[in-house]
């Protein structure tokens, strides 16, 4: 069952349709409702390894759906401290709950100021309306 369209106010959003929940010096990352809806039912998630360094604006993994394979672009840079193994085994979790149980990775941020360049929920909704 796909989630209803939503863009929580407590998250930061990237124009590549990824989100970040900043928690101190760490951040949880995932893809937005718009991204999972555009892709359709996810059937595979290829995550980075725990301990991997990911770069702002660079691909850190792939999601595969019944429609396409898409790179997941990082809104922030840092070290991967956790991978959501539930999504690795059950990628459809992202379709069901993209902001809760469907998170992808947790990172220790290298530069917390990168979050200042991300969009708030209202700005992200405006960005989507322009597409």
What are the pLDDT digits (tens) for 99-128? 999 999 999 999 999 999 999 999 999 999
pLDDT over threshold 90, residue 50: yes
**Structural domains in the chain, sorted by start:** 12-130 (2.40.50.100)
* pLDDT per position as a tens digit, 20-37: 999 999 999 999 999 999
Tokens representing 76 are 């922030």
Phi/psi of residue 104, nearest 5 degrees: -105, -55
pLDDT over threshold 80, residue 3: no
Phi/psi of residue 84, nearest 5 degrees: -75, 95
pLDDT over threshold 60, residue 1: no
State the pLDDT at residue 122.
97
Over the chain, what is the mean pLDDT?
A: 96
């Amino acid at each position: 069952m796909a989630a209803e369209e939503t863009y929580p106010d407590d998250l930061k959003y990237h124009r590549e349709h990824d989100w970040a929940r900043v928690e101190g010096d760490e951040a949880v990352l995932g893809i937005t409702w718009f991204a999972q809806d555009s892709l359709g039912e996810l059937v595979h998630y290829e995550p980075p390894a725990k301990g991997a360094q990911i770069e702002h604006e660079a691909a850190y993994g792939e999601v595969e759906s019944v429609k396409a394979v898409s790179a997941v672009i990082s809104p922030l840079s840092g070290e991967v401290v956790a991978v959501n193994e539930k999504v690795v085994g059950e990628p459809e979790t992202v379709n069901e709950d993209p902001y809760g149980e469907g998170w992808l990775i947790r990172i220790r941020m290298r530069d917390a100021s990168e979050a200042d360049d991300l969009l708030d929920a209202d700005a992200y909704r405006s960005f989507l309306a322009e597409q």
